[in-house]
C-alpha cells in the first residue's frame, strides 16, 4: 500500500470510488451510521450516495456530522481509513456538502486545469 501521507490524494465522492481502487483518496461525507463494533461506519456524500469506511482500530469517540476521511480504496469499493477528522459544525460556518460536491465535479471534469497529480519529490 502506497504511503498515504506522501502522495497526493484525490478528492473523491462515493461514485468515483471504484475507479480509485488501490489508490489513496480523500472522501468527505456525512456520518450516517456507525457499526456496533466501532470498526466501520457509513457515510453519505454530497450526492447522497453511501460509502463504507473501515478502521484498523475501533472508534473511541462519538462520530457525527461531516467528516473528512483520508485512506485507501479497497477492491470492494470501501475505504480503509488512515486518518479522519470531523468538520465541526458548531464552529464557524457550516460545511455545505452539496456545494463541495459541485466543486469536486468541476475539478474532475476539468482536471487539465487542476494538475494536482504532481508527486512530491522523494
Q: What b-and-e string marks burial along 39-55, b requiring 16 or more CB atoms within 10 Å of the CB?
A: ebbbbbbbeeeebbbeb
102 lines the binding site for another protein (CB under 8 A): yes
- DSSP tag of 79: E
Is 103 a binder of another protein (CB under 8 A)? Answer: yes
Q: Is 109 among the residues that bind another protein (CB under 8 A)? A: yes
In angstroms, what is the minimal distance from the CB of 56 to another protein? 34
Q: Which stretch binds another protein (CB under 8 A): 11-19, 61-69, 75-83, 103-111?
A: 103-111
> Which one, 32 or 98, has the nearer CB to another protein?
98
Query: Is residue 2 part of the contact set for another protein (CB under 8 A)?
Result: no
Show Cβ contacts of residue 31 under 8 Å, excluding neighbours closer than 6 positions.
Answer: 41, 42, 43, 63, 64, 65, 66, 67
Interface positions with another protein (CB under 8 A): 93, 96, 99, 102-103, 106, 109-110
Amino acid at each position: 500500500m502506497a504511503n498515504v501521507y506522501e502522495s497526493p490524494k484525490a478528492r473523491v465522492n462515493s461514485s468515483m470510488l471504484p475507479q480509485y481502487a488501490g489508490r489513496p483518496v480523500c472522501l468527505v461525507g456525512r456520518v450516517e451510521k456507525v457499526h456496533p463494533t466501532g470498526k466501520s461506519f457509513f457515510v453519505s456524500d454530497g450526492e447522497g450516495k453511501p460509502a463504507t469506511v473501515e478502521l484498523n482500530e475501533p472508534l473511541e469517540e462519538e462520530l457525527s456530522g461531516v467528516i473528512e476521511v483520508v485512506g485507501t480504496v479497497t477492491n470492494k469499493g470501501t475505504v480503509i481509513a488512515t486518518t479522519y477528522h470531523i468538520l465541526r459544525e458548531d464552529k464557524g460556518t457550516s460545511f455545505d456538502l452539496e456545494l463541495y460536491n459541485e466543486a469536486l465535479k468541476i475539478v474532475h471534469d476539468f482536471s487539465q486545469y487542476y494538475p494536482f497529480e504532481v508527486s512530491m519529490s522523494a
